[in-house]
């Protein structure tokens, strides 16, 4: 059975649990403070500003050679701007800067598969989720330290996570014996792993595809059971109900009219798509 088929079975199991339902419901309904008429500003300026993380493979990835953006949320944000009848402007962001960028109006919406976390939902308002992913380990094919999932949380093992991603708080809570290493730019998880400064790094489904598609030295390590499946959604500043309804209606449309399915298929993400 393929890794991706196993993931689908895990996702179906975890997504049906009360905990998952409560998390999504909490995130979507968090009201927050008044944020102003965002939709009026978009219509008046003729511009939709979308926050992206340009290092997110399959989601909002900027090719370092061509500087071209590609990914499911590049396609979908372009569709959103077309439906609004406005031009599209991308604002480079990251998971570290996400909350500040959205709440200080650097962008109108974050569209880069933002994990729905309670601490984020205290400051942001999330649409219904459209993707969901578990956590995976990536190590080298030659690693003698990490051969299976049970080898990760062991004394002396160095486990890398990207700063600001949902893997950071999850692994900080879950690791009992291994040492967690937080990677911040300009360092990368791949470089730290290849240099031998860490033994494994934790990532999600889309980013793991980047390694499997492009690095013949990389090996994926999957948990034997669901580890921490998280829904992904779009995020806006709380308080502007009209703008939130517009974003939520967009998510509903792309799920029902096939737009989401087509974009997910183009970028190898059908396995983690929600709302089929």
Same domain, residue pair 65 and 112: yes
Same domain, residue pair 27 and 14: yes
> What global pTM score does this model have?
0.82
pLDDT of residue 212: 80
pLDDT tens readout for residues 166-186: 899 999 999 999 999 999 989
pLDDT tens readout for residues 31-73: 444 446 999 999 999 999 999 999 999 999 999 999 999 999 9
Same domain, residue pair 209 and 174: yes
Q: Which of the listed residues 201, 221, 241 is the one where a domain comes to its end?
A: 221
The domain total for the chain is 2
The pLDDT confidence band at residue 8, using thresholds 50, 70 and 90, is low
Same domain, residue pair 126 and 212: no
The whole domain housing 127 covers 3-132+230-272
HEC string of the chain equals: CCHHHHHHHHHHHHHCCHHHHHHHHHHHHCCCCCCCCHHHHHHHHCEEEEEECCEECCCEEECCCCCCEECHHHHHHHHHHHHHCCEEEEEECCCCCHHHHHHCCCCCEEEEEEECCHHHHCCCEECCCCEEECCEEEEECCCCCCCCHHHCCCCCCEEEEECCCCHHHHHHHHCCCCEEEEECCCCCHHHHHHCCCCCEEEECHHHHHHHHHHCCCEEEECCCCCCCCEEEEEEECCCCHHHHHHHHHHHHHHHHCCHHHHHHHHCCCHHHECCC
Q: Does residue 3 register a pLDDT over 70? A: no
Same domain, residue pair 122 and 15: yes
The pLDDT confidence band at residue 26, using thresholds 50, 70 and 90, is very low
Same domain, residue pair 217 and 122: no
């Amino acid at each position: 059975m393929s890794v991706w088929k196993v993931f689908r079975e895990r996702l179906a199991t975890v997504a049906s649990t009360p905990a998952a339902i409560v998390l999504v419901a909490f995130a979507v309904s968090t009201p927050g403070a008044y944020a102003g008429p965002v939709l009026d500003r978009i219509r008046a300026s003729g511009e939709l500003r979308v926050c992206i993380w340009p290092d997110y493979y399959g989601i909002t990835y900027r090719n370092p050679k061509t500087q071209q953006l590609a990914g499911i949320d590049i396609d979908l944000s372009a569709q959103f701007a077309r439906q609004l009848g406005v031009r599209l402007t991308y604002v480079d962001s990251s998971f570290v800067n996400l909350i500040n960028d959205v709440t200080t109006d650097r962008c109108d919406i974050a569209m880069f598969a933002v994990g729905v976390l309670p601490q984020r939902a205290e400051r942001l308002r999330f649409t219904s989720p459209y993707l969901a992913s578990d956590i995976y380990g990536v190590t080298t094919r030659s690693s003698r330290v990490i051969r299976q999932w049970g080898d990760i949380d062991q004394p002396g093992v160095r486990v890398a996570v990207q700063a600001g991603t949902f893997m950071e708080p999850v692994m900080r809570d879950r690791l009992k014996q291994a040492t967690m290493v937080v990677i911040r730019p300009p360092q990368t998880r791949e470089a730290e792993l290849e240099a031998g400064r860490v033994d494994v790094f934790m990532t999600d489904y889309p980013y793991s595809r980047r390694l499997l598609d492009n690095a013949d030295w990389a090996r994926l390590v999957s948990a034997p059971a669901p580890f921490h499946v998280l829904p992904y959604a779009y995020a806006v500043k709380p308080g502007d109900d009209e703008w939130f309804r517009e974003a939520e209606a967009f998510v509903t449309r792309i799920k029902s009219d096939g737009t989401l399915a087509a974009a997910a298929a183009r970028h190898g993400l059908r396995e983690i798509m929600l709302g089929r």
